Structure 1
C-alpha cells in the first residue's frame, strides 16, 4: 500500500524528466506500431501533443492516412507512415522499415501491435492460422522491431522501448492459452533486454495492462478499472519510468486502477485462486460468445428461407 501512495508524486517527476531527455520538442521521433486503433492510436495522439514526431506503422494504409491527417490537424509535428502487415511481414518489410527510419532521430519505440483470440476457446480447437498470427505479431514482430532499433539506441546512448503487455501474463488465462503465453514471453523478453540495454542509457518498460476499451479487448464502456485508450496513454507517459506498484524489474503498471488490481493479485490469496477466477470469467465469456454466434446463425437461416 505504501507504493500506491506514491503513484502521483513519482509519476509527476518521471514525466518531465523522461520526455525531455528523449528529445520531446527537439526533433525526436517515436515509432508506434498498431497505431491506427486502441492503445497504439492513444500513444500516437498523446506523443504528438507532447511535440514528438511520429512514425506510424500499421497494416491499413487508409487508416494510417486518416490517423496521420487527424494528428497533423491537431498538433504541429511531423508524421511518417509505413504500411506493414506484421502477421505476414517478410524480411524485406523489416529492411524497408529500417531504411525509412535510418535518417530520423528516433529515440522511442512503442510496440502495440497485437492479436488475440476471437473469443475464449479451448487451446486444442483454436485454428492454427489464428495461433500463427498471435505468435507472429505478439512475439516475432515485437522482437524484430526492438532488435531493429537497439543498435541505433545504443550508439546514441539514449532510447526507450515500451512493450504493451497484459495481465494474462501475470495470471495465465485459461481459454486464451496462446495469447497468454505470448504475453508471458513479452514480459520475460522485456526484462532480459532491459538489463542488457540499461548500461547504455536505454530504458525498456513492459506495461502490465489490464482491460482498456479497444477492439482487441472487446470492452466498450470505460470505468475506474477500464480506461479509454487516450486515458491509458496519458497515464503511461505521465509515469514513464515508475513501477507504479509492480514488484518486478522493468515492469510498470501505470494506470491507477490496474495498479490496485496488480497489487491485489501479487499480495492477496495465491496464484491458483486467480487462475481459477480467470477460468470462471473466460468460461462465462465463451458461453456468451457461442450463444451470440448461434443467435446470429439462426437469424441468418431464417432470412434465407
Structure 2
C-alpha cells in the first residue's frame, strides 16, 4: 500500500509540473499579446499626435500645381482652399462650371499668396474620352505636385443591391473607380518623370467594412483600397508617394450630415488633419500606403481591427441594421414629402 501511494504521489507531482508549465506558457502568451496591443496603441498615439508629417513642399516647388477632383463642394472645396493657402496653384475639376468659377474667385480673394487657378468642368459619370483628353492637354503643360482623387458618389439612400438601379450602379463605378484610374493615369507619368509627387485618394470605412445596403459603393471603395496599395508599391521607387485616406463620417453633401460632431468632423477640420498627417498611418496600422488621419476615426478603426475584426459577421450585421434604419427613415421622409406635395397641388 505504501508503494502504491508513492507511485500515486509521483504521478501527481508530474501532473502538477505539466499544469504549472502550461499555466506559465499561457501567461507568457497572454503577456506578449497584451504588450503587443499596448505597443500598437502607443504607435497609434505617436502617429496621430507626435511624429511629424511629410512637408507638402517636398512634393513640388512654389510654382507647382495641385489637382483636386470633385473640387466644388465639401471636402474637395476644402482641399482646394487649404492647398492654395499653402502656396500651390490649383487646377479645379468638377461637374458644375459655375461652382468652379465661384471657387476660383474665392481662392483669389482669400489666399494672401498669388495663386494661379485653372478650371475644367467635366462629368465623371459620363466617362467621356473628350473630357479626359482636355484634362491631359492641361496636365501636360503643368508641373503637377499633388493629385487629390476626391471625386466620388454613394447611393442616394441605402438600398438593397437587388433594387439598385442600373444607372446608379454605373455612375458609382464610373465616378469612384474609372474616374480615379483615368485621372491618375494622366497625372502619374509626369510625377514619375520628375521623381516627385503625391497621389492622395479618398477611401471610406465602407471599403474596409462590408456595408450591406451600400454594396456597390462599398465594393468601389474596397477596389480603391487594393488599387492604391498596389500603385503605391509601383511608384515608390520613383519618389512618388501614394496614400489612400480612410474616413468614417464627415459633414458633406454625400454623407447628408449637416452638423459636425466628435465622430463627424467638418470638411475643414478633416482636411486639416489629412494635410497635417501626410506620411503617417494614423489608425491604419498594417495597411500599406494607407492613412486614417482624423483621430476619432483612427481610434474607431484601431479598436475594431484589434478587438472585433473589420469583416466580422457581428460588425457586418450591426452595419446592416444601422443602414436599414437609415433607409426606413429616408423612405418615410420621402412619403411625407410626397403627401405634402399632393395636399397643396
TM bracket, shorter-chain basis: over 0.9
Q: Distance in 1 between matches of 2:218 and 2:224?
A: 10
* Mapping 1:117-156, distance limit 5 Å: 117-156=155-194
1:254 matched residue in structure 2: 293
Greater RCO structure (CA 8 Å; 6+ sep): 1
- On the 8 A contact 1:173/1:278 being kept in 2, the answer is yes
Q: Distance in 2 between matches of 1:265 and 1:66?
A: 41
- On the 8 A contact 1:138/1:183 being kept in 2, the answer is yes
Per the TM alignment, residue 23 of structure 1 is displaced from its structure 2 partner at its CA by: 2.5
Question: Is residue 110 from structure 1 mapped to residue 148 from structure 2 by the alignment?
Answer: yes
For structure 2, which runs of at least 5 residues remain unmatched after alignment? 1-40
2:279 is matched with which residue: 221, 236, 241? 241
Q: Distance in 2 between matches of 1:194 and 1:18?
A: 18
For structure 1, which runs of at least 5 residues remain unmatched after alignment? none
Question: Is residue 68 from structure 1 mapped to residue 119 from structure 2 by the alignment?
Answer: no
Per the TM alignment, residue 84 of structure 1 is displaced from its structure 2 partner at its CA by: 0.8
Per the TM alignment, residue 267 of structure 1 is displaced from its structure 2 partner at its CA by: 0.9
Question: Is residue 183 from structure 1 mapped to residue 221 from structure 2 by the alignment?
Answer: yes
Q: Distance in 2 between matches of 1:217 and 1:256?
A: 19
Root mean square deviation, CA, Å:
1.0
1:157 is matched with which residue: 195, 216, 222? 195
Per the TM alignment, residue 20 of structure 1 is displaced from its structure 2 partner at its CA by: 1.8
Q: Distance in 2 between matches of 1:287 and 1:86?
A: 30
Q: Distance in 1 between matches of 2:204 and 2:220?
A: 10
Higher-Rg member (1/2) = 2
Per the TM alignment, residue 238 of structure 1 is displaced from its structure 2 partner at its CA by: 0.3
Per-residue CA deviation, residues 140-183 of structure 1 (Å, 9 max, x unaligned), is 00000111111111100001101101000111110000000000
1:194 matched residue in structure 2: 232
- On the 8 A contact 1:3/1:245 being kept in 2, the answer is no
Per the TM alignment, residue 243 of structure 1 is displaced from its structure 2 partner at its CA by: 0.4
2:72 is matched with which residue: 26, 32, 36? 36
Question: Is residue 4 from structure 1 mapped to residue 4 from structure 2 by the alignment?
Answer: no
Please state whether the residue corresponding to 1:113 is helix, strand or coil. Answer: coil
Q: Distance in 2 between matches of 1:4 and 1:221?
A: 27
Per the TM alignment, residue 245 of structure 1 is displaced from its structure 2 partner at its CA by: 2.2
Per-residue CA deviation, residues 16-69 of structure 1 (Å, 9 max, x unaligned), is x43121225x11100000001111111111101111110000010000000110
- On the 8 A contact 1:30/1:53 being kept in 2, the answer is yes
- On the 8 A contact 2:197/2:241 being kept in 1, the answer is yes
TM-score (norm 2): 0.85
Per the TM alignment, residue 264 of structure 1 is displaced from its structure 2 partner at its CA by: 1.4
- On the 8 A contact 1:243/1:252 being kept in 2, the answer is yes
- On the 8 A contact 2:64/2:88 being kept in 1, the answer is yes
2:27 matched residue in structure 1: none
Aligned residues: 299
- On the 8 A contact 1:18/1:241 being kept in 2, the answer is no
Q: Distance in 2 between matches of 1:250 and 1:22?
A: 16
Q: Distance in 2 between matches of 1:38 and 1:236?
A: 14
2:303 matched residue in structure 1: 264
Please state whether the residue corresponding to 2:243 is helix, strand or coil. Answer: strand
2:208 is matched with which residue: 170, 177, 185? 170
Q: Distance in 2 between matches of 1:160 and 1:33?
A: 14
1:101 matched residue in structure 2: 139
Hey, which bits of structure 1, 4+ residues long, moved more than 6 A?
A: none
TM-score (norm 1): 0.96
Per-residue CA deviation, residues 164-217 of structure 1 (Å, 9 max, x unaligned), is 010001111100000000000000000001100000010110011110000000
